[in-house]
Amino acid sequence: MKRSTLITLAVLLVVAGAIVVALVREASSGPSFRAADYGSLEECLRAIPSEWVEGSIERSGAETACRYTHAPAAPARP
């Protein structure tokens, strides 16, 4: 391989690695939430992090997860 091709490949690998590291750091920062960690719907909804403001994707997803996880079981069909 030509030297310029090797340098280009090395630069691309370094840039890709930096992007992956930045994404991992961003994903691991901030609050986390698991609806299954709470015993009731009310407790689950109260435990949603306050950083997640009303109407945000994070908050609406957490509310949906709480309602899904803590919904009463549907009756069995005959």
Q: Where are the domains of the chain?
A: 31-71
55 φ, ψ (degrees, to nearest 5):
90, -5
Q: What radius of gyration, in Å, describes the C-alpha atoms of the chain?
A: 22
Read off the pLDDT of each residue in 2-14 and give the average, rounded to a whole number.
95
Q: Residue 9: is its pLDDT beyond 90?
A: yes
Helices (H), 1-78: 3-28, 41-46, 57-69
Entry pTM? 0.61
Q: In whole angstroms, give the CA distance from residue 65 to residue 34.
A: 8
CA distance 64 to 58: 10
State pLDDT tens for residues 26-69: 888 878 889 999 999 999 999 999 989 999 999 999 999 999 99
Q: What are phi and psi of 10, to 5 degrees?
A: -65, -40
